[in-house]
Structure 1
């Protein structure tokens, strides 16, 4: 028997949840996975992280990822060339917000990878998956481990 949900439901038109959606590019080659050291940022300044950003109002998630890849790395990825490899439901301990982090791998891309936002990224470097730097964003380490083991969904930060 399914217990009855006695949680009060919001009135019509009320928004129950504002979900922040992050998009992350998992770009790998024989040298490992591409990470950037964040610079002049409000979140994780100085830490290593995947090329990433947030979905903007009116964008499809694949459009967000394509835009971020071009802004941060100077490469063009067609939306249909993005494969979703992992979804992470993340409860951010800093602000208590629920975040959906989507991790994409490109089938192909155009252009040459370079640091297109040096004001936000100190350097780009490929790291072996089994020896990521100690100062990598924790949920990034988690997601990359999950991707390596073939998991498509995980959660972090929840009790």
Structure 2
């Protein structure tokens, strides 16, 4: 399963937009990036463009998007996922809560000082983006190990 996440960074202070989940049954009360699953028949660019419009009401052009991190992740339910983290060099519109039935509101936070209630999957991706790391693997129990569980040095 592929997920897309948009790291929308405010130009004036570098803060990133996070949404508080509510009423979804998953991670309610936690903060996450504007995000979602890739639907059948769409590529990851189309998915993040769609999610940006559906969740926060902004229009992002394909040419404004940049993939900044890809994560092969296994969530707490043991489901494998591939997360595509994007940034946008520009967009039209002012971010606003377009899904009040799923989101309690939007807030802006410094990427290097995320609140403790940020969804771990998102916080990990933001952390890798800040370090300039294009790819990571998490949740498989061998994150930093080679064959036979022997740590790489």
In the superposition, the TM-score normalised over structure 2's length comes to 0.87
1 CA distance for matches of 2:4 and 2:72? 12
Flag the structure with larger Rg.
1
Total equivalences in the alignment: 139
Per the TM alignment, residue 32 of structure 1 is displaced from its structure 2 partner at its CA by 1.2
Once superposed, what is the RMSD of the aligned Cα atoms?
A: 1.0
Structure 2 partner of 1:106: 88
Structure 2, unaligned runs of 5 or more: 142-153
| Aligned pair partner of 1:46 in 29, 35, 38 | 29
Per the TM alignment, residue 31 of structure 1 is displaced from its structure 2 partner at its CA by 5.0
> Per-residue displacement from partner, 1:105-144 (whole Å, max 9, x unpaired)?
1121111211111111101011112321111111111111
Task: Give the secondary structure class of the aligned counterpart of 2:112.
Answer: helix
Per the TM alignment, residue 37 of structure 1 is displaced from its structure 2 partner at its CA by 0.5
Per the TM alignment, residue 91 of structure 1 is displaced from its structure 2 partner at its CA by 0.8
More deviation in 72-81 or 51-60? Answer: 72-81
2 CA distance for matches of 1:98 and 1:118? 28
Structure 2 partner of 1:133: 115
Structure 1, unaligned runs of 5 or more: 1-19
2 CA distance for matches of 1:40 and 1:56? 22
Per the TM alignment, residue 43 of structure 1 is displaced from its structure 2 partner at its CA by 2.0
Structure 2 partner of 1:10: none
Q: Any runs of at least 4 consecutive aligned residues in structure 1 with deviations exceeding 4 A, and if so which?
A: none
Contact 1:21-1:101 within 8 A present in 2 as well: yes
Q: Which aligned pairs between 1:77-116 and structure 2 lie closer than 5 A? A: 77-94=60-77, 96-116=78-98
1 CA distance for matches of 2:87 and 2:17? 11
In the superposition, the TM-score normalised over structure 1's length comes to 0.84
1 CA distance for matches of 2:106 and 2:91? 17
